[in-house]
């Protein structure tokens, strides 16, 4: 059997964006699983010990082709379908949260840029990001506003440039990046009509970048607090038209990203379940293994059912996204994220309980999983935001189609 390097496997998985060579994809899944269990755990220990993600991990993931799995081949990616990519993301999510965050963001942010990019912008922004030559940070959240049409970061147009002012925070990879994919509004505007998307160069004058404090979990992933004071941004670096900022943010990134985050919840919960089952099979008390005790076996059974239900809803949401014309995808993406996050909360809590007191110590692998899981509750929008989106879409459908027969 001919051997292939990790990079060649990743880049040769598919012939088109719709056709997948299942044998090659299976080989890639096996490769990713081995990487997560081997080098991934070495990196996890190092990240927890040093509190930072070394450049070497970025380089290794790029060289293996893991940062461009979901992008089209013509952009330099592997061309995987979204559904196939999510199967790999589940595996990556069993590793350290910062490692899966790198894979998740790099395989998703190109979509937001690409959907409104001109050919010239695609060459400048999209292709370098897919190839790992440029690092882009998704820059939406603000410390003084809600996330969405409530943006307060604003721009004033001055000839062929915008002057950008305001604040952003909790920006993942916002310190060590090449560009910020930033969302602001025209000064004096309100609502989504005044929003716009800008590709802001990291070296732009008038920007103050401050690393934020260490987080409870997902350690090592740099997060930035950004302050802009009349920072000049070329109009040529705007994606789409003025007024389309939220379309870039929501349709291009947040909708598929919420589906992807749902799968990261599945992967992390799967890791917690594996640890709990291993402990239950090997821990003996009063002459019996924990797995022989009904209370413990019921927890394991509940976790297994929870996991599979969430995985299937995520898979359904991915298929809806792939259809391209689905009216349900916005609601379903929020549904799968909501359900998967709640599932992860229950599974990790039971997994820690199965470990008993020893699971609370940092020497136990479940302790890191438990900490990392909490971040999923607000990544790509809190549960409350997801419920708001779901209710809005459901009510809108009833208003459009008429109430059901009572």
Residues serving a catalytic function are: 380
Q: Which tokens sit at 144?
A: 């003084």
Q: Residue 216, class by beta-carbon neighbours within 10 Å (0-12 exposed, 13-18 middle, 19+ buried)?
A: exposed
Q: Which tokens sit at 63?
A: 């060289």
Q: Quick count: other Cβ atoms within 10 Å of Cβ 50?
A: 11
- Helices (H), ranges, 186-293: 245-246, 255-282
Three-state secondary structure along 333-400? HHHHHHHHHHHHHHHHHHHHHHHHHHHHCCCCHHHHHHHHHHHCCCCCCCHHHHHHHHHHHHHHHHHH
Q: Which tokens sit at 164?
A: 């950008």
Q: Which tokens sit at 351?
A: 């997994």
Q: Which tokens sit at 111?
A: 């979509």
Q: Which tokens sit at 330?
A: 């916005």
**Contact between 256 and 317 (Cβ < 8 Å):** no
Q: Which tokens sit at 319?
A: 């298929």
Q: Residue 130, class by beta-carbon neighbours within 10 Å (0-12 exposed, 13-18 middle, 19+ buried)?
A: buried
């Amino acid at each position: 059997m001919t051997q292939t390097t990790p990079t060649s496997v990743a880049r040769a998985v598919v012939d088109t964006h719709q056709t997948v060579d299942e044998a090659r994809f299976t080989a890639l899944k096996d490769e990713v699983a081995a990487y997560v269990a081997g080098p991934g755990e070495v990196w996890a220990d190092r990240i927890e010990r040093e509190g930072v993600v070394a450049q070497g991990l970025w380089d290794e993931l790029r060289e293996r082709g893991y940062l461009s799995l979901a992008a089209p081949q013509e952009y330099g990616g592997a061309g995987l379908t979204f559904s196939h990519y999510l199967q790999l993301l589940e595996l990556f999510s069993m590793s350290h949260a910062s490692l899966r965050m790198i894979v998740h963001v790099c395989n998703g942010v190109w979509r937001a840029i690409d959907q409104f990019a001109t050919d010239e912008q695609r060459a400048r922004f999209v292709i370098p990001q897919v190839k790992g030559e440029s690092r882009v940070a998704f820059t939406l959240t603000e410390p003084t506003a809600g996330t969405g049409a409530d943006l307060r970061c604003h721009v004033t147009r001055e000839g062929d440039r915008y002057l950008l002012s305001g604040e952003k925070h909790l920006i993942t990879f916002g310190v060590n990046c090449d560009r910020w994919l930033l969302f602001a509004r025209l000064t004096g505007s309100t609502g989504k009509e005044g929003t716009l998307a800008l590709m802001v160069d990291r070296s732009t004058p008038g920007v103050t970048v401050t690393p934020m404090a260490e987080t409870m979990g997902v350690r090592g992933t740099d997060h930035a607090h950004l302050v802009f004071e009349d920072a000049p941004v070329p109009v040529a670096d705007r994606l789409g038209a003025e007024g389309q900022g939220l379309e870039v943010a929501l349709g291009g990134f947040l909708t598929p990203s919420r589906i992807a985050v749902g799968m990261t919840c599945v992967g992390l919960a799967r890791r917690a379940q594996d640890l709990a089952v291993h402990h239950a099979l090997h821990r003996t008390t009063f002459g019996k293994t924990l797995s022989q005790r009904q209370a413990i076996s019921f927890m394991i059974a509940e976790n297994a059912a929870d996991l599979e239900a969430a995985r299937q809803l995520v898979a359904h949401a991915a298929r809806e996204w792939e259809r391209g014309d689905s009216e349900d995808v916005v609601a379903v993406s929020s549904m799968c994220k909501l359900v998967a996050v709640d599932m992860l909360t229950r599974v990790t809590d039971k997994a820690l309980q199965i470990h008993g007191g020893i699971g609370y110590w940092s020497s136990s692998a479940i302790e890191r999983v438990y900490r990392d899981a909490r971040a999923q509750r607000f990544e790509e929008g809190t549960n409350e935001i997801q419920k708001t989106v779901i209710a809005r879409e459901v009510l809108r459908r009833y208003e459009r189609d008429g109430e059901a027969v009572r």
